[in-house]
Every structure is written in structure tokens, then in C-alpha cells.
Amino acid sequence: MSIDSPLHSGLLWLDTLFKSGKEHGLSTVGLASFGVVATLVGSMVLDYNRKIQKVGGLPGLRYPLFPFSLPGVIFPNSHWIPGFYFVFNWRKTLYKRFGLDTISFVSWLYGGSMILTSNVEVMRQIAGGTKSDFIKPLSASGSILGWGNNLLASVGGEDWRNHRRVMAPAFSQNLYQAVWKKTLVLYREMLASETWEGKKVLEMQKVQEITYKTALLVLCNCGFGLGLNWEEAPSTSNGMSLLTAFEIVDHRNMLGNLPGWVVKLPFKYFKEYLHASNILTEWMTAQIVDRREVVNSRSELDEKRLEEDCFTLMVKANEEQGRKYRLSDQELVGNVFILLLAGHETTAQTLAATLAYLSLQPDLQDEIVEQIVSIIGWDRDPEFDQYRDFSKVLAAFYEGIRLYPAGYLMLREAAVDTVLEIQKPIGEEGTTSIPLPKGTMVVVDMIGVQRNERYFDEPEKYKPWRWLDMPHESEVASSFSVGPRACIGRKFATTEAVAMLTMLLRDWKVEPLLKSGETLEQWKDKVFENPKIFISFGVNDAPLRFVRRQRP
């Protein structure tokens, strides 16, 4: 036992209390009870001081529960419990109260401590790579590790590099061109569907219905070569459609963080999740076997398929790795899971946010449509080669993901004793060096980064034209993360988004859909102030009205 341990200190204190109490005639039971309480309090004080030292003494938040611990997630938000979404709920004041964009969070009753930052320079330091002092802790990926280790969940180093070797070849110009073409086809099929055909006005209670379906079908077609159309739900042999299975697993993904015995309890909600999970696992495993046969067959038809099927390219890249670096089938399933769920949800959430914001600003819609028509007129389809010409469309999408970044937290842990350079407050030059012991958690608050006045003028406002003078792949668009671990599917997402928005906004005006007696402010509060989190972060269900544009 360490001479300065809380237990040792408590025993000394208890011994002193006994001696003092006996001199004053206090009962042994009373003294023992008080001594135990005093020892626990003393232990908590020492533990709290260690946590303060671990975060370099940075000023910040001090609360009973750590927000990312199980109690911190379960208990409702209150004055004493910040809750899991505190970085969004307190986004306007969180850093201003300390005059810093890098602060600390220390729990004094249960849980750990962390450094919390909304600074891009700090994010670059901890983002990771093969030689970084920081790794992604496994605890940050609990809900996505159940399917197998994957690129998003890998801690770093050689493990991350192995996953990247297999995933990277799948994302090519051929794939992006296929994404563009398929998005246009799906849009035309959507307009020909019973819901849209012949309509001049269409009211939709949840715009996510079309953004999720579009994103999922683009992935199913361009990611897996399944050849599905708008009206054809991808199905399995045991009754539940793949679309339904995707939605259940996606929306209930947080169940993956619970102990296995809890999820197996006889409740319908849990049973549906397990059934959907089993369907997806069986389907993904079968797809790996099928793709391996495609890779080995080398027929002309299959060579064509390779150009537009990123799943097959993943399997091909894996087969070409040496035995030492080859991923297991379970790891391939893990990467397919991320491609399916995280991939389509990010695009779907951001498209919904973009359309919701544009519905409030018809003048911005008109400017975007003016640019679209100046490039392709009212009747021609846009070409993939014109992607960069639709700068205002892309800017609208970037501004949507800035305000609602799909990956709203980036968690890293110091793998070794290291030093973090923290920028001084706005208006001051230089940095402050903060020594970090091994194991210190550093969390990038992506909502805070994207609403930081250091980088954005009037950060709470939707102002898409701020992106017009930025390079297309600028790291200021850090909602896709930065450094080697930046989102591998960024171009996939932006290609699909630009194609979809170009077609949709040229044909339709978008307006908020209000309930009877509902004010515009109430609508905005409902949509923007109550975000949803499944695998990614996004606006709440957005009711919108689509009004067909009158062509000249």
C-alpha cells in the first residue's frame, strides 16, 4: 500500500479520531461510522485532485457525473447532471464562460476527466495517424465494434493502416461517377413514384424519409452493386427487408453499448434489434463470399462490376494483401457495417439539415437555382464533370454539416506521456503547453469547432456563401475530421449531395410545413433544438412542403 494512498491517509485519520473520541467519551460505533465517511470523503478529495492534475489544471466544468459514463447517460439532464448532449445544449456559452476554446471536465463523484476542445489546432495534434501520441480508445467505439473491428473503430498505428489499405482502393473517381449517375436515376424514379407523380405540391412530415432512402439506395447500388430501384426494397430470404433491418439497427444502435444479457431480455424492442442484427450479419457474410468469387473469376462482366462496386474492391484489396496484413471476414463485416450505416446516415442527416435551413431562406434557394440554370438550363441533367461548377450547391451542403456535424465528438487518448499545445484566447498570440500523462482523454467538440468565432463569422447563422472562397478539400470543413483519419467517404457524400440537391432545388421550392396554430419559431425550435443521434448527429424530423417551380 502506497504511503500516500487514500486508504493509508484514512486509517491515520481514523486512528486519531478513535483516540480523540475516547478522551471525550464518544461511542466506538459513532466514531467508526464517522471515520468511514471521513475516509470516503478524503479518498474522493484525493481522487478529484489527481483528476485536476491529469488535465493540467485547466479551468472548466466540475460535475458529480462524467457525461459519457453510464450514469451520466441514463440520468436526465439537470443543474447537477450535464447529460450526454451538453456540448449542443450549452453550445452558446460553454467556452465563453471561461474565455477559452479548450477547457477541462472533471467529475467529482463518479467517472473520469477529460480535456474538451473546440480548437482546430488542438484537433490536428490529436487526430491521429501511424506515429501519433494519441489513439482512439476502444470505449469510444462500443456500439460499432460488435460487428467486428473496422477503420472507424481502430485505435491507430498498424491496425488502422491495415484497415485503410483495404478501404482506400474502393473510393475512386469511377465510384464517384457511378454515385453521381445513380443519384440522378433515383431522383427520376422518385418523381415517377406514386407519392410524387403529377404533384404540384407535396407535403412531407419528415424529409428524412427521402434523404435516408436516397442515401441508402445509392450505397446499395454503388457500394454493393445490388441494382435496386426506388420502388424495390432490398429483401432477405427470411421475411424482413434489408431496408427495415438497416433502419432498426441504425435507430437502435445505442443498444450495442449495453451488456449482452440486457439486450437478450424478452422485450419486443430488443427482439427486433437482435433479429435485424442477425439478418444484416448473415447478409454481409454472404456478400463477402460472393465478392470473393467475383474477384477470383476475373470475367469481363465482373471487371465492369469492379469499376462501380466498392464492396468488391474492398474484398479484392484484402485478397491482395499478404497473410500478415489481411483482414479477417469478421473485420470485413465490421467495415461493411460502417460503410452501410455510418456512410448513408451521415449524408442523409446533412441533406435533411440543408433542406430544413434552405426552407427558411427562399432568397438563398433562388440564388442556387440561378447558378444551376446558368450551367445546365431547365431540362438537361448535370454531368459529373460539372461537380465543381455547382459551388453554391456544395456550399449549402457544407453549411448544413457545419451546423450539424454528423460525427459531433472525436475522442482520443494519450498513448504515452506527451504535451498538448493549446492556443491562447482569441486576440492573444502564442500557445500554452499542457503536460498530459498517459491515459488522459482529449475530446474534440465538433459542434464547438464549427461554431467557434475564431473560425466563423456569426457562427450560429446559416450562411452558406462563407464557403465559396474556400478550396474544395479545405480542412476548415473539419466536420469530416482532419489529418490521416479524416473521413474516407467525404467525396462520396458530397458527390451524392450535390447531384441530389441540384435536381431537387431546380424543380422544387422548399418551405417549412407548419401544423395548425404552429408558429415559425416553434417549428424552428422543434427541428433545430432537439437533435437526433443514432450513429450520427442531425436535426430532428423536419416537416417540409415542396412546391413545383414554374419554369419560364
Model confidence over 364-390: pLDDT tens digits?
999 999 999 999 999 999 999 999 999
Cell of 2: 502506497
Predicted pLDDT of residue 352: 97
| Residue 6 reports pLDDT greater than 50 | no
The three-point CA angle 292-296-297 to 5° equals 115
Per DSSP, the residues of 171-189 read S-HHHHHHHHHHHHHHHHH
pLDDT category at 504 given cuts 50, 70, 90 is: very high
Q: Work out the average pLDDT over 185-213.
A: 93
Q: Where are the alpha helices (DSSP H) in 360-482?
A: 362-376, 391-403, 446-450
Q: What distance in Å separates the CA atoms of residue 442 and residue 117, rounded to the nearest whole number? A: 8
**Each residue of 85-129: pLDDT tens digit?**
899 999 999 999 999 999 999 998 888 899 999 999 999 898 876
Predicted pLDDT of residue 273: 87
Beta strands in 500-548 (DSSP E): 508-512, 532-533, 537-538, 544-548
Q: What distance in Å separates the CA atoms of residue 419 and residue 90, rounded to the nearest whole number? A: 28
Contact of 536 with 407, CB cutoff 8 Å: yes
**Each residue of 13-44: pLDDT tens digit?**
556 655 655 555 556 665 566 666 666 666 77
Q: Which of 275-279, 283-287, 351-355 has the lowest mean pLDDT?
A: 283-287
The answer to the question of whether 310 is labelled as a binding residue is: no
Predicted pLDDT of residue 512: 98
Per the prediction, the chain carries an average pLDDT of 82
Nearest to 515 by CA among 279, 203, 263: 203
| Residue 220 reports pLDDT greater than 70 | yes
**Each residue of 230-240: pLDDT tens digit?**
886 555 556 67
pLDDT category at 242 given cuts 50, 70, 90 is: confident
Domain 160-404+486-548 is in which class? mainly alpha
> What does the DSSP 8-state code read for residue 201?
E
| Residue 255 reports pLDDT greater than 90 | no
361: left (phi over 0), alpha (psi -120 to 50) or beta: beta
Q: What distance in Å separates the CA atoms of residue 186 and residue 218, rounded to the nearest whole number? A: 8
Q: Work out the average pLDDT over 507-536.
A: 93
| Residue 274 reports pLDDT greater than 50 | yes
pLDDT category at 3 given cuts 50, 70, 90 is: very low
Predicted pLDDT of residue 119: 94
Q: What are the structural domain ranges in the chain?
A: 1-54, 160-404+486-548
